[in-house]
A and B are shown apart, each in its own frame.
Chain A
Amino acid sequence: MDFVLSPEQRMIYDYGAKVSQSFDHKYWLENARQNRFPEELWRQTAQDGFVGLMVDQAYGGSGLGLFEMALLIEGMSNHGLPLLMYVVGPTMAMGHINQHGTPEQKSRYLPDAAAGTTMFCFAITEPNAGSNAMRIQSVAKANGERFKLNGSKVFITGVDVCDYAVVVARTTPHDQVKRKTDGFTVFILDLKARGVDYQPINMSVVNPELQFTLYFDDVDLGPEDVLGEVDKGFNILFDLLNPERVTVAAMACGIGRFAIEKAVAYTSERVVFDGPIGAYQGVQHPLAAAKTQVELSSLMLRQAAWQFDRGEAAGAAANMAKYAGAEAGIMAVEAALQAHGGNGFTHEYGLYDLYSMARLLRTAPINRELILNYIGERVLGMPRSY
């Protein structure tokens, strides 16, 4: 067993440290507070080749795996640059096209996406279908070879800065399918197409990407827009569950480390009674405990990513990593916040802002309860509740 990263992996992990010299957490936070997408940072990461990390070399990417993507996201988050867009775009949407697209779709979309000249978001959640995707009500009604898409999606990250969305819609009504997971189709949708509209949602989370409600009104889609097979969308969507969990865990671990590091620096300097408050075990222990949880989660997410890249079953590790990572991130920010006293709540220190981001990851993009259901039912083999 070898826990050492290769020199390439180490450099990918260290990229966050490098890019944060030009775009630091302050930049991230200012953008987050203004709900402005950090375009300059995004463009820089694209120019440096990281947006196309998982895209095959034949289509302009680097052809690396989930392990490296997780290292990248963890490393950027370690330096206060967590980007949800990296999860939904380069990992999920682009990863999905890379894995399941036809050669035509890949050459049409991936080179530009890998270069960062076009951007992708991922749209599955609906007002009545969040945790339960089987309830999706957006319908793409077949009309000969083509489809007419109607319905809506909510909480879709980054629609305003994206060119395309990977969208899941129902193509066969649920009472006409044999398996309840049948009847859904994944489409690549041009966000400029006729009948597509979107509205920002006012979110209280302090993060730089906006969330949107997407509306579809008779949007015309063709067979060339179908990703995978008609009605069999969920057969391939399952491939996305683990990348989503792993990268979210990576982000949470990074946020946790960033917060802990801030707290260590602060409490080593801050004198309240005799000597720095960091010398008090009442201050140390919550940070030490959170650090332990962060590093444990980080190990678990790397195991999950490693299994995923080898084509092994990664569900158990990925779900446990997501659960543990999100909880560790919250624990870390909470401990750091308390260690900062009143300063933690100021704009200058920005820790309370980070709390909203860490806390988000317990609920979205996949909530804690569904993760624990998986662990209970699939890992422990306990009976299903419904």
Chain B
Amino acid sequence: MKVLVAVKRVVDYNVKIRVKADQTGVDLSNVKMSMNPFDEIAVEEALRMKEAGTADEVIAVSIGVQQCQETIRTALAMGADRGILVKTDAVLEPLHVAKILKAVVDEEQPGLVILGKQAIDDDCNQTGQMLAALLGWPQGTFASEIEFADGKANVTREVDGGLQTLKLNLPMIVTTDLRLNEPRYASLPNIMKAKKKPIDEKTPEALGVDMAPHLTTLNVAEPPKRQAGVIVENVAELVHKLRNEAGVI
């Protein structure tokens, strides 16, 4: 089985986000970029499937500017077999990404596509679901465990009330939650090996995807600053403060 993994280049999770002075977006100049952490989990899961013999090829796809190649290289260094870069400078919305991924799926015919449940930059949590709809494939979102049996997959999902396990037919879409696995990082020999792995370059135009925006960003602002907290001595004081100062009870 071929496994396709979508990897997004995002601002590193350690970076303190700053909004541009003109409030048109987030300031990306001189900011460290990394692979979306949920996508690292997606790559890891695909690699474990390959190591277990369930998958025989892992393909990492990234969509965006030329530097997304670095994100693909990271996936290749972790162990993915080859990469596909769909190069565009356009502003990317989840629907664009889902349509591009569908076009790639049509070409590659994987048995499974794994994506992060969301990207830590815009936190949309839409791409996997949209892709499933476009392909008409079953989806197991927010997965914390994936098991294969009798040509089907049991996907355990983290839902509000607890855990839900679905039996899904292949081909299918999975989006990863944090507890699915602990992703590896690349060893030096694997970093060096990744250098020789191929990355195909494509464009949305060549894949027949229209990149016209559906959304207009009106304004981006920082969340209001949190006020410093206080430590209360006991429950009575807490109740007193909630009643008399916060006025919530």
Asked if A12 is at the interface of the complex by the 8 Å CB criterion, the answer is yes
Return chain A residues, CB-CB under 8 Å to B63: none
For window 177-211 of B, CB contacts with A under 8 Å fall at: 185-192, 194-195
Q: Assess A7 versus B185: contact at CB under 8 Å? Given A12-B191, A62-B192.
A: no
The stretch of A42-50, A103-111, A213-221, A330-338 that contacts the partner chain:
A42-50
Q: Which of B14, B69, B188 contacts A12 (CB 8 A)?
A: B188
Q: How far is the CA of A18 from the CA of B190 in the complex (A)?
A: 15
Asked if B77 is at the interface of the complex by the 8 Å CB criterion, the answer is yes
Indicate if the CB atoms of A11 and B187 lie closer than 8 Å: no
Asked if B118 is at the interface of the complex by the 8 Å CB criterion, the answer is no
Return chain A residues, CB-CB under 8 Å to B228: 271
Asked if B102 is at the interface of the complex by the 8 Å CB criterion, the answer is no
Asked if A10 is at the interface of the complex by the 8 Å CB criterion, the answer is yes
Interface centre among B69, B187, B190, B228 (most CB of A within 10 A): B187
For window 25-66 of A, CB contacts with B under 8 Å fall at: 47-50, 52-53, 62, 64
Q: Which of B34, B188, B194 contacts A48 (CB 8 A)?
A: B188
Return chain B residues, CB-CB under 8 Å to A12: 188, 191
Q: How far is the CA of A15 from the CA of B228 in the complex (A)?
A: 35
Indicate if the CB atoms of A50 and B70 lie closer than 8 Å: no
Asked if A8 is at the interface of the complex by the 8 Å CB criterion, the answer is yes
Indicate if the CB atoms of B70 and A10 lie closer than 8 Å: yes
Min Cβ gap A71→B in Å is 11
Asked if B73 is at the interface of the complex by the 8 Å CB criterion, the answer is yes
Q: Which of B34, B74, B77, B188 contacts A62 (CB 8 A)?
A: B188
Return chain B residues, CB-CB under 8 Å to A7: 69-70, 73-74, 194-195
Q: How far is the CA of A15 from the CA of B187 in the complex (A)?
A: 9
Indicate if the CB atoms of A49 and B189 lie closer than 8 Å: yes
Q: How far is the CA of A49 from the CA of B186 in the complex (A)?
A: 10
Indicate if the CB atoms of A62 and B189 lie closer than 8 Å: yes
Min Cβ gap B222→A in Å is 13
Chain B interfacial residues counted at CB < 8 A:
18
Indicate if the CB atoms of B73 and A11 lie closer than 8 Å: yes
Q: How far is the CA of A14 from the CA of B73 in the complex (A)?
A: 13
Q: How far is the CA of A64 from the CA of B188 in the complex (A)?
A: 10
Chain A interfacial residues counted at CB < 8 A:
19
Indicate if the CB atoms of A49 and B70 lie closer than 8 Å: no
Indicate if the CB atoms of B192 and A8 lie closer than 8 Å: yes
Which partner residue on chain B sits nearest A60 by CB separation? B189
For window 52-102 of A, CB contacts with B under 8 Å fall at: 52-53, 62, 64
Min Cβ gap A369→B in Å is 36
Q: How far is the CA of A12 from the CA of B194 in the complex (A)?
A: 13
Return chain A residues, CB-CB under 8 Å to B186: 11
Q: Assess A15 versus B185: contact at CB under 8 Å? Given A8-B191, A62-B192, A271-B228.
A: yes
Indicate if the CB atoms of A53 and B70 lie closer than 8 Å: no
Q: How far is the CA of A357 from the CA of B189 in the complex (A)?
A: 31
Q: How far is the CA of A47 from the CA of B73 in the complex (A)?
A: 21
Q: Which of B14, B185, B194 contacts A8 (CB 8 A)?
A: B194
Q: Which of A10, A17, A53, A271 contacts B188 (CB 8 A)?
A: A53
Q: How far is the CA of A249 from the CA of B171 in the complex (A)?
A: 53
Per-residue CB contact flags for chain B residues 54-81 toward chain A (1 = under 8 Å, else 0) read 0000000000000001100110010000
Q: How far is the CA of A8 from the CA of B77 in the complex (A)?
A: 9
Per-residue CB contact flags for chain A residues 248-268 toward chain B (1 = under 8 Å, else 0) read 000000000000000000000
Return chain B residues, CB-CB under 8 Å to A64: 192
Return chain B residues, CB-CB under 8 Å to A53: 188
Return chain A residues, CB-CB under 8 Å to B195: 7-8
Min Cβ gap B32→A in Å is 9
Q: How far is the CA of A62 from the CA of B195 in the complex (A)?
A: 13
Q: Assess A49 versus B74: contact at CB under 8 Å? Given A7-B69, A8-B194, A62-B192.
A: no
Q: How far is the CA of A8 from the CA of B14 in the complex (A)?
A: 21
Q: Which of A11, A48, A50, A271 contacts B74 (CB 8 A)?
A: A11
Which partner residue on chain B sits nearest A14 by CB separation? B34
Return chain A residues, CB-CB under 8 Å to B188: 12, 15, 48-50, 52-53, 62
Return chain B residues, CB-CB under 8 Å to A14: 34
Indicate if the CB atoms of A49 and B77 lie closer than 8 Å: no
Min Cβ gap A8→B in Å is 5
Q: How far is the CA of A71 from the CA of B194 in the complex (A)?
A: 18
Return chain A residues, CB-CB under 8 Å to B185: 15, 18-19, 48
Return chain A residues, CB-CB under 8 Å to B187: 47-49
Q: Which of A11, A17, A19, A271 contacts B191 (CB 8 A)?
A: A11
Per-residue CB contact flags for chain A residues 99-139 toward chain B (1 = under 8 Å, else 0) read 00000000000000000000000000000000000000000
Selected A-B contacts with CB under 8 Å, 29 pairs:
A7-B73, A7-B194, A8-B77, A8-B191, A8-B192, A10-B70, A11-B73, A11-B74, A11-B77, A11-B186, A11-B191, A12-B188, A14-B34, A15-B185, A17-B14, A18-B185, A47-B187, A48-B185, A48-B187, A48-B188, A49-B187, A49-B188, A49-B189, A49-B190, A52-B188, A53-B188, A62-B188, A62-B189, A62-B192
With A62-B188, A64-B192 given, name 19 new contacts (CB 8 A). Answer: A7-B73, A7-B74, A7-B195, A8-B73, A8-B77, A8-B194, A8-B195, A10-B70, A11-B73, A11-B191, A14-B34, A17-B14, A19-B185, A48-B185, A48-B188, A49-B189, A49-B190, A53-B188, A62-B189
Binding site for A on B (CB under 8 A): 14, 34, 69-70, 73-74, 77, 185-192, 194-195, 228
Q: What 10 pairs across the A-B complex have the smallest Cβ distances?
A: A49-B188, A18-B185, A7-B73, A48-B187, A49-B187, A49-B189, A11-B191, A7-B70, A62-B188, A8-B191
